[in-house]
Chain A
Amino acid sequence: MTSMIASRRRRRQRASVIQHTNRVQHRLETVDLCSSSHDLPSCIDLTCEGDEEEIVDLTAVNDSSIVCLGSVPTYLQNETQVRERNLRALRRHRSRSPVNTRQLTRRPNYSDPLPDYNNDIQHPSYDLGVTNDISGGAEEDESPPRRKITCPVCFDSDTAIQSSYRQLVSTICGHVFCNSCIYEAIRSNHSCPKCRKKLTLRQYHPIFL
């Protein structure tokens, strides 16, 4: 009696083992089908390593969406920086004559890793209200594109700010304004007009570009 039960159990176990192997074989067959890609013309081999030239950098065409193909260092993954990178490439491509030294101003080099102090504070963005004016023109073909900085509160450009005896300043959260706007904003709202970080009148300083 007991031996019958035992043999039945064994049989059941064997059956389940067979079922199991069937399933495994089934799965293996599927894998096998897929690996023979020459049989399936619709299969696209994504592992194939293409030439550098074949990679199309979509970020250069549309700067509103970033598509990073290949590995980009983390410090370059900011939209402004990626745009800056593309613009530099564009600039190299466009300018045939040597750089006009008169036009050279000290500007941040975004390809360099950001200094450590930038990592101390949580930045929501590096939006400095910076726009690059690359609209065509004979003169601009011979010089680097003009970097325009505007105060995001009064919308005045850096040249307008300078000519009215104001100064560009940066807050400790890294946002740039003209001195009269940030003064007024901190006095009335006690916070950064861009990211709303709490600020006092001592927490901004002039910047020299």
Chain B
Amino acid sequence: MANIAVQRIKREFKEVVRSEEVAKCAIKVELVNDNYTELKGEISGPPDTPYEGGNFVLEIKVPETYPFNPPKVKFMTKIWHPNISSVTGAICLDILKDQWAAAMTLRTVLLSLQALLSAAEPDDPQDAVVARQFKENPDIFWLTAKHWSHAYAGAPKSYPEFDAKIKRLVDIGVDEHRARVALSSYNWDLEKATESIFS
């Protein structure tokens, strides 16, 4: 990797580790390999969001041309959010694309992602199904996102009603995650979700 990219990441790594957000356990970054090309980020779900109490792991890949090009970031933890793919974890955020600037850092990226969890932009969606639910059924969206935070990010609160519906599908041989995706996509309508799985 280019010399400047490695040097920058090394220095940023120190910056993030010393930052006050780390002290507050809001963000975290770890090295994945010794040559600083891949890192593991972590952000905590912001308060007053359905992600509260959850920890979301991010894959951060540093390109050779960093910092003149943005890092490639995606969610490793499954999450229900209009701007994040529930399938791949791909993120739709301007600063990770054309709005990147070389003076931005890992710290600003992680904080921006945390801000994205607080303020979704359904008109610029990454996941069309989630974005539609967000707009048309905000209450169901909130509960679904909270349910996913519990199932994948370790957030405390669970919904027995949702769990029961998932169990109904698991009992007839459906994979748990697949059941969760189908039910979430059909606003927890068991009949429609079942139909979508077996059609």
A149 within 8 A of B: no
A193 to B70, CA, bound (A): 12
Given known contacts A154-B4, A154-B7, A154-B8, A192 and B101 CB-to-CB distance under 8 angstroms: yes
| Among B99, B100, B102, contact of A153 (Cβ-Cβ < 8 Å) | B102
Beta-carbon nearest neighbor of A182 in chain B: B102
B67 within 8 A of A: yes
Do the beta carbons of B103 and A188 come within 8 Å of each other?
Answer: no
Given known contacts A193-B101, A193-B102, A196-B101, A185 and B8 CB-to-CB distance under 8 angstroms: no
List which A154-209 residues lie within 8 A (CB) of chain B: 154-155, 181, 184-185, 188-189, 191-196
Which chain A residues border B12 with CB–CB below 8 Å? 155
List which B44-67 residues lie within 8 A (CB) of chain A: 65, 67
B side interface size, CB within 8 A: 14
A186 to B143, CA, bound (A): 45
Do the beta carbons of A188 and B101 come within 8 Å of each other?
Answer: no
| Among B4, B7, B8, B101, contact of A194 (Cβ-Cβ < 8 Å) | B101
A side interface size, CB within 8 A: 15
**Main secondary structure on chain A at its contact with chain B?**
loop
Which chain B residues border A194 with CB–CB below 8 Å? 101, 103
Do the beta carbons of B11 and A155 come within 8 Å of each other?
Answer: yes
Do the beta carbons of B4 and A185 come within 8 Å of each other?
Answer: no
Given known contacts A153-B67, A184-B68, A189 and B8 CB-to-CB distance under 8 angstroms: no
A108 to B26, CA, bound (A): 37
Bits for A127-155, please: 1 = Cβ < 8 Å to B, else 0. 00000000000000000000000001111
List which B87-104 residues lie within 8 A (CB) of chain A: 99-103
A194 to B4, CA, bound (A): 17
Which chain B residues border A155 with CB–CB below 8 Å? 7-8, 11-12
Lowest 3 A-B CB distances belong to which pairs? A193-B102, A152-B103, A188-B68
* B contact residues vs A (CB 8 Å cutoff): 4, 7-8, 11-12, 65, 67-69, 99-103
* A contact residues vs B (CB 8 Å cutoff): 152-155, 181, 184-185, 188-189, 191-196
